[in-house]
Amino acid sequence: MTKLKVKKSCFKSIENVSKVEIKRDENHKELVKESNAKIAKAQARQAKAYFNARNYLGD
């Protein structure tokens, strides 16, 4: 879910708007940690593949 950032002036023309804080629990933090680890692993794999392809092509 993406958090939308808008200025306070945007709320003046919209009726019945309220600001709500996002509540995050420990489960959410664990999922974020796991996701970040998977992203870092994929980025390392892509960097290695790029390096190997560069060596293969002779650049």
10-37 pLDDT tens trace: 666 667 777 788 788 889 889 999 999 9
For residue 3, the model assigns a pLDDT of 75
Cα distances (Å, whole numbers) of residue 12 to 4, 16, 19, 30, 40 = 16, 10, 13, 37, 42
Domain ranges of the chain: 26-59
Long-range Cβ contact pairs of 45-52 (< 8 A, separation 24 or more): none
Give Cα 52 to chain centroid, integer Å.
Answer: 28
For residue 47, the model assigns a pLDDT of 93
CB 24 within 8 A of CB 18: no
**More reliable by pLDDT, 11 or 43:** 43
Q: At 5, give phi and psi (nearest 5°).
A: -105, 120
